[in-house]
Amino acid sequence: MIPDYNLVFVYGTLRPGGRNHDLLATATHCGTCRSSPRYILYDTGPYPAAVEHGTTRLKGDVFLIDDATLAKLDLLENVPVDYQRTRIETEHGLTWLYLWQRVIKGDWPCISDGDWNRYCRDLNRIG
């Protein structure tokens, strides 16, 4: 059986250098890009949470992944409880994006430039 393939846009701990990037070990990196300016990116503490209805362009990486890897990512992201997968258009084509589904806490900092990796580097912490 030939596996199906998907594109996924990752903006947090799954990006290269992030603590969960090893889940993409068999994926093909298509490149780095920015989303359209329609999100808000929050720092929840251990990971970022993106929600719609903002003006931030998320910075992320697009990977070509198989269905088995997509299922692993859904488990990591606790779909549909914590995150929901949605499709967005990127310069690499139509990709999956994980959006936060739970309540946003008032003390979560916003990451105004949409770049989790830069934000973590500035705070001297691992993404």
Looking at the annotation, which residues are catalytic?
A: 77
Q: Are 107 and 42 in contact (CB under 8 A)?
A: no
Q: Are 82 and 75 in contact (CB under 8 A)?
A: no
> Rounded CA gap, 86 and 15, in Å?
18
Mapping DSSP to helix (H, G, I), strand (E, B) and coil, where does residue 90 land? strand
> Rounded CA gap, 66 and 23, in Å?
12
Q: Is 25 exposed, middle or buried (0-12, 13-18, 19+ CB in 10 A)?
A: exposed
> Rounded CA gap, 43 and 110, in Å?
6
